[in-house]
Amino acid sequence: MPELDAVLNQRLDTLESQGLRRQLVLAEREEFPRVNRHGVPLISFACNDYLGLANDARVIKAAQDALQSHGVGAGASRLITGNSPLYEALETELAGLKKTQAACVFGSGYLANMGAIAALMGKGDLILADKLIHACMIDGAQLSGAQMKRFAHNDMAHLETLLKAHRKDYGDCLILTETVFSMDGDVAPMEQMMALAKRYEAWVMSDDAHGLGIVPSVPVDIQMGTLSKAAGVYGGYICGSRTLIDYMVNQARSLIFTTALPPALLAASTAALQIMRSQPQLGAQALANARLFTACLGMDEARSHIVPIIIGDAARTIEASHILRDAGYWVSAIRPPTVPAGTSRLRFTFSALHQSHEIESLAECIRHHGWIANIDHQRLDAAG
Q: Which amino acid appears at position 376 of this protein?
A: D
Cβ neighbour number for residue 381 with a 10 Å cutoff: 15
Determine the number of helices (DSSP H) and then strands (DSSP E) in the chain: 14, 14
Is 374 known to be catalytic? no
Contact 153, 133 (CB under 8 A): no
Is 77 known to be catalytic? no
CA-closest candidate to residue 117, choices 242, 234, 224? 224
Catalytic residue among 98, 210, 305, 354: 210
Is 377 known to be catalytic? no
Is 229 known to be catalytic? yes
Catalytic residue among 49, 98, 134, 228: 134
Is 210 known to be catalytic? yes
Catalytic residue among 207, 217, 254, 305: 207
Catalytic residue among 98, 229, 305, 354: 229
Catalytic residue among 182, 206, 217, 332: 182
Is 13 known to be catalytic? no
Please tell me the distance from the alpha carbon of residue 222 to that of residue 208, in angstroms, as a whole number.
Answer: 10
Residue 216: cis peptide before it, omega within 30 degrees of 0: no
- 3-state SS class at 368: helix
Beta strands in 66-182 (DSSP E): 102-106, 126-130, 147-151, 173-178
- What is the full DSSP assignment across 158-200? HHHHHHHHHGGGSS-EEEEEESB-TTT--B--HHHHHHHHHHT
Find the Cα–Cα–Cα–Cα dihedral 154, 49, 141, 194, rounded to 10°.
-40
Is 182 known to be catalytic? yes
Task: Report in angstroms the alpha-carbon separations of 280 from 51, 216, 352, 363.
Answer: 10, 11, 11, 26
Please tell me the distance from the alpha carbon of residue 59 to that of residue 179, in angstroms, as a whole number.
Answer: 26
Catalytic residue among 178, 184, 186, 208: 178
Which residues are known to be catalytic? 48, 134, 178, 182, 207, 210, 229
